[in-house]
C-alpha cells in the first residue's frame, strides 16, 4: 500500500498506453502518481507542498513539453522535470537541461532508468527546499539585528578586531564588545569565521 506521504509523481503524456504503463510502474514501487493527457489539465492542478516531480513528454498536442517547462519557470513553480520523448535530438536536450531538467529519456527507456531519474529529482528538490528553509531562517535572524549591530557584523566578517571596530564606529571598546556579543547571539554564531559563512550565504556586501 502506498503511504500517504510518499512523493507524488505527475505524468503528462498524450499516449494512453504509455501513461498507463508508467502509472503501473510507479504504483508498484509505492509512489503516488497522477496522470494527465494534456499539459493544460496538468497546469490547472494545484501542486502539493510535499516532494514531487514531473514526467513530461516533449511532443504534446498544442503545447510542447518545453513550453510547459517555460510556463512553470515563469510562474515561479519549482518542480523537477524529467523529459521523455520518442523523437529526442541534441539541441532539444540541451535546451531542456539548460532550463533545469533533471533528465532526458528517449523512448523506449528502461524502467530502472526512469525510477533512478525520479529518485534523483526528489532528492534534488528535497535538498533545494532544505537550503531555502535554512536561508530563510538566517534572513529572519538577520532582521532582528539593529542597524548598529548589522554594521558591527559587517566589520566583524571583514576581519576587524573589537578594538578596530570601536575605533571605526567612534565608540568605546566595551560598547563594541557588547554589540559583537549581541550579533553572535542573535545570529547563533560561535565564531567570527562561522559568522562570515553566514554572511556569505546571505550574500551580504563586503565592507572594505
Q: CA-CA distance, 78 to 83, in Å (whole number)?
A: 15
Domain end, chosen from 86, 114, 136, is at: 136
Start-to-end C-alpha separation, the chain:
60
* pLDDT above 90 coverage of the chain, percent: 64
Residue 136: is its pLDDT beyond 80? yes
CA distance 84 to 114: 9
Residues 116 and 20 grouped into a single domain: yes
Together in a domain, 43 and 73: yes
pTM of the model: 0.74
Residue 189 included in any domain: yes
From start to end of the chain, where are the E strands?
Answer: 8-12, 32-36, 52-57, 81-85, 103-106
- Please state, in angstroms and rounded to a whole number, the distance separating the CA atoms of residues 18 and 25: 11
- Structure-block grid coordinates of residue 135: 536561508
10 phi/psi in degrees, rounded to 5: -100, 135
Please tell me whether the peptide bond between 108 and the residue prior to it is cis, using omega within 30 degrees of 0: yes
Examine the pLDDT at 208 and tell me if it is beyond 70: no
| pLDDT grade for 30, boundaries at 50, 70 and 90 | confident
Question: How many domains, the chain?
Answer: 2
How far is Cα 134 from Cα 131, in angstroms, rounded to an integer? 5
Beta bridge partners of 11: 35, 55
Q: How high is the pLDDT of residue 3? A: 66
Q: Do 68 and 87 reside in the same domain of the chain?
A: yes
User: 148 and 119: one domain?
Assistant: no
Task: Identify the CA nearest to 181 among candidates 200, 141, 153.
Answer: 153
How far, in Å, CA of 149 to CA of 146, rounded? 5
Which residue range is the domain that position 68 belongs to?
A: 8-136
pLDDT digits (tens, 9 = 90+) for 72-119: 999 888 899 999 987 666 677 777 777 788 888 888 889 999 999 999
Are 15 and 90 contained in the same domain? yes
Backbone angles phi, psi at 32, to 5 degrees: -75, 145
Q: What is the pLDDT of residue 2?
A: 62
Amino acid at each position: 500500500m502506498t503511504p500517504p506521504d510518499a512523493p507524488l509523481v505527475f505524468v503528462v503524456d498524450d499516449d494512453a498506453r504509455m501513461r498507463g504503463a508508467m502509472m503501473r510502474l510507479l504504483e508498484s514501487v509505492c509512489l503516488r502518481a497522477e496522470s494527465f493527457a494534456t499539459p493544460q489539465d496538468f497546469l490547472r492542478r494545484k501542486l502539493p507542498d510535499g516532494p514531487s516531480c514531473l514526467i513530461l513528454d516533449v511532443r504534446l498536442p498544442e503545447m510542447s513539453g518545453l513550453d510547459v517547462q517555460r510556463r512553470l519557470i515563469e510562474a515561479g513553480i519549482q518542480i523537477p522535470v524529467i523529459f521523455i520523448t520518442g523523437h529526442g535530438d541534441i539541441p532539444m536536450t540541451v535546451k531542456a537541461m539548460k532550463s533545469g531538467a533533471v533528465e532526458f529519456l528517449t523512448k523506449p527507456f528502461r524502467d530502472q532508468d526512469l525510477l533512478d531519474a525520479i529518485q534523483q529529482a526528489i532528492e534534488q528538490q528535497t535538498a533545494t527546499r532544505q537550503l531555502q528553509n535554512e536561508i530563510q531562517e538566517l534572513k529572519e535572524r538577520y532582521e532582528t539585528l539593529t542597524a548598529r549591530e548589522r554594521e558591527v557584523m559587517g566589520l566583524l566578517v571583514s576581519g576587524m578586531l573589537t578594538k578596530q571596530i570601536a575605533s571605526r564606529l567612534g565608540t568605546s571598546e566595551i560598547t563594541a564588545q557588547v554589540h559583537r556579543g549581541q550579533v553572535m547571539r542573535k545570529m547563533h554564531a560561535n565564531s567570527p569565521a562561522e559568522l562570515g559563512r553566514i554572511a556569505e550565504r546571505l550574500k551580504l556586501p563586503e565592507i572594505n
